[in-house]
Structure 1
Amino acid sequence: MDRKVILYIAMSIDGFIARKNGDVDWLEGDGSDEKADMGYEDFYEDIDTVIMGRTTYEQILTFGEYPYKGSKGYVYTSKDTDNNEDVVFTKEKPEELIDRLKKNDGKNIWVVGGSLIIDEFIKKNLIDEYVISIIPTILGDGIPLFRGNDSQMEFKLDKHEMVNGIVLLYYSKRINNK
């Protein structure tokens, strides 16, 4: 199986992935079908590597136990930090990390967040698929998914779904993207 780099993320209608303070307390649907399957478990079954920034990693730890045990984790940080059983802290260039990971057998690679890491991966054209869940909320301000300094990229809409008022959009890069 060819490994793909997938951005799987939620954003508000106005394009934010978190409040300015990083809070994601607004990540919920409209209540129309709270038991609906959002497809996360199926998605995660095809993942064996997660990549995130230090702030995202630290925020995830506030939710309780590290949720990605069993997957290889990479956390981008500028601080010198010792690796642990769950993650490798790295300063490696994204294109070098992805090239190395794709040379090895494995499942897909999930770019979890945050916006600075996502921006780097977009600039380097390293993301193969985008799965974006639009949450029925307008925040008005926050941390944007797209930082606005990227080159134009074009996508193909492969699939879309609506679950509990949340619209899930599945995109792949068009072949003419470099």
Structure 2
Amino acid sequence: MSRKVVLYIAASLDGYIARANGAVDWLSGHGDQPPTEDVDSENGYEQFYQTIDTVIMGRTTYEQIIHELSPDAWAYQGKKSYVATTTPHEPDEHVTFINEDIPEFVKQLKLQPGQDIWLVGGGKLIEIFMEHHLIDTYVITMIPTILGDGIPLFLGQHAETKLRLQQTRTVDGMVELTYVTR
């Protein structure tokens, strides 16, 4: 059985994954959830994180992680990390840069033994994966914020995709929707 590619991502209610400048400072719920000892397990991230051993992301997402979101430590320590890019990069001990045929690379990656593969983002890479039917599961958390403008979750360059709702969860005003491909 092949590994699954999971798009695990958050979006504003109007469908944006970041502000136009790339900022994600709005990624939170109501903030009125009673505190718990382990907030991460409450929102499902830690549970999801244990199901993957590989992450793949685009160059812009990678640069945002290393420069803004987690500049002092690699955010996906212990996970095999790939960055799809056409831009030359200095070697990085935490990631492997790939500039080959991305769909073919991912098809081969799915055939290797291991846990699931997390498609971290961004929008251009999501479109490539959708175009080639590489996403098996969509886990999209809707954040109770309307941004009005920004970087869209789906760029609209793909064919119609029918999905089957597998699960919904709500945490602190956020709604997590899990869809699988039919």
TM (normalized to structure 2)?
Answer: 0.91
Deviations 1:24-63 (A, max 9, x none): 0000001231645111001010111100011101111122
Contact 2:2–2:112 under 8 Å retained in 1: no
2:76 corresponds to which of 49, 68, 72: 68
* Partner-residue secondary structure (3-state), 1:131: strand
Task: Give distance in 1, aligned partners of 2:111 and 2:91.
Answer: 22
* Partner-residue secondary structure (3-state), 1:132: strand
Task: Give distance in 2, aligned partners of 1:52 and 1:172.
Answer: 20
Task: Give distance in 2, aligned partners of 1:100 and 1:84.
Answer: 23
Contact 2:107–2:134 under 8 Å retained in 1: no
Q: How many residues align?
A: 174
- Measured on the aligned residues, the alpha-carbon RMSD in Å equals 1.2
Structure 1 range deviating more: 33-42 or 109-118: 33-42
Contact 1:132–1:169 under 8 Å retained in 2: yes
- Shift in alpha-carbon separation, 1:72–1:135, aligned structure 2, 3 A: same
Structure 1 range deviating more: 141-150 or 29-38: 29-38
Contact 2:84–2:102 under 8 Å retained in 1: no
1:143 corresponds to which of 130, 140, 151: 151
Matched with 1:39 is 44
* Partner-residue secondary structure (3-state), 1:102: helix
Matched with 1:87 is 95
Task: Give distance in 2, aligned partners of 1:3 and 1:171.
Answer: 16
Contact 1:49–1:107 under 8 Å retained in 2: yes
Q: Percent identity?
A: 51
Deviating beyond 6 angstroms after TM superposition, the runs of 4 or more aligned structure 1 residues are none
Matched with 2:134 is 126
Task: Give distance in 2, aligned partners of 1:130 and 1:151.
Answer: 16
- Which segments of 5 or more consecutive residues in structure 2 lack a partner in the other structure? none
Contact 1:82–1:89 under 8 Å retained in 2: no
Matched with 2:63 is 58
